[in-house]
Amino acid sequence: MSLALIALALFLFRDKLPDVVAGLRAARLWLVLVAILIFWTAMTINALKWWILLRAQTKEVPFRALVNYTFVGFFFNNLLPANIGGDLMRGYGLARYMDRGAVAVASVMLDRLLGLAAYMSVATLASLVTVFLDGHSELSVLPVVATIAALSLLLLAAILLSRRVRRLVERVVKGTFLRRFGRIWDSLSLAFEVYRSHTKTLLIAFCVGLVGIASTSLLNFVLSESLGGGITLLEAFLFTPLIAMVLIIPISVGGVGLSQMAYPFFYGLVGIPAAHAFSMSVLMQAVQLFCSLPGGVLWIRWRRMPGDEAATPEPSHA
């Protein structure tokens, strides 16, 4: 699918490729370096959000461990479908560290849902400003779509925290062929139950997620500036969350191809040239790959460590 998507993108924008190549060759390196620092900052913010959620469950996992698992997750995002691969590796690493798989899974699921809800909340606000204050009435459907997406994600998080829903799922699991997974569901349900009494923790994690999306939006703006500029900061805040939602669709490895289709489509809605948006997508993936390399190094080191030593990661120096 990745090969098919990138082939389609190259075909659709074939007449823009000379401009894309010229733009990438002329990119200002110092701004790309700034973008790299912003990306690492955003990764650390994501780890902080995860750490805040985990503190409601246990205090045995240090922040540096979650930073390392976050780097490993970002590395595997380049090798596995969408962000799902990264989340799997984060949960796997944490489960090895603390030997409590249900807590690891619950924290990763809630972290992802709150993060996406924060993304779409920012998209909702940015789309409202774009439509009603910036005069882009042709984009009036975006506030509706973003609002529905944000509310749906928050509703899904609420469902996971609902005792009634979890008891219903428990009856279904234990009363059907799924009963062999009954003990797994009991552990997972208990892990989610803990968060019901930590509303403040969920709110703080959501706010940290807002800071994370602000960093990622700023990253896209800086990459655009490195290519000569063309998008406004408001447009970055509007389209970064929408593109992120598209990229979680598990039909490509690392978002390759899908990203090259999404950037020109969304930024094209406000008149940004396709060549500029395509160049942004390529540069963004290059920065993402480079910034995630420490995660690959950490993973190799853990694989070489025997037994319990592999469960205790060394601090990342990224």
The type of residue at 64 is: R
Residue 19 in any domain: the answer is: no
Annotate 91-150 with DSSP letters as a single string. Answer: HHHHHHHHS-HHHHHHHHHHHHHHHHHHHHHHHHHHHHHHHHTS--GGGTHHHHHHHHHH
Residue 92 in any domain: the answer is: yes
Which range, 31-45, 108-122, 133-147, 237-251, has the best average confidence (pLDDT)? Answer: 31-45
Residue 21 in any domain: the answer is: no
Question: What is the distance between the alpha carbons of residues 122 and 134, in angstroms, rounded to a whole number?
Answer: 16
pLDDT at 98: 72
Q: How many domains does the chain have?
A: 1
Instruction: Give CA torsion, residues 196, 199, 129, 239, to 10 deg.
Output: -60
Residue 20 in any domain: the answer is: no
Residue 98 in any domain: the answer is: yes
Residue 16 in any domain: the answer is: no
Averaged pLDDT, 92-100: 75
The type of residue at 18 is: P
pLDDT at 82: 64
Residue 124 in any domain: the answer is: yes
pLDDT at 315: 43
Higher pLDDT, 83 or 266: 266
Which range, 84-88, 166-170, 223-227, 299-303, has the best average confidence (pLDDT)? Answer: 223-227
Residue 234 in any domain: the answer is: yes
Total length of the chain: 318
Extended strands (E) in the chain: none
Averaged pLDDT, 84-110: 78
117 touches 157 (CB < 8 A): yes
- Could you give the percent of the chain with pLDDT greater than 70? 89
- Could you give the percent of the chain with pLDDT greater than 90? 30
Higher pLDDT, 97 or 17: 17
Averaged pLDDT, 42-47: 93
Averaged pLDDT score across all residues of the chain: 83
Higher pLDDT, 173 or 113: 113
Q: Is the pLDDT of residue 189 over 80?
A: no
pLDDT at 286: 92
Q: Can you give the residue range of the structural domain that contains 112?
A: 2-9+28-311
Question: What is the distance between the alpha carbons of residues 288 and 253, in angstroms, rounded to a whole number?
Answer: 13
Averaged pLDDT, 246-251: 81
**CA–CA distance from 235 to each of 7, 217, 220, 238 (Å)?**
27, 9, 10, 5
pLDDT at 178: 66
* pLDDT, tens digit, 9 for 90 and up, residues 252-310: 787 888 888 899 999 999 999 999 999 999 999 999 999 999 998 988 887 666 544 44
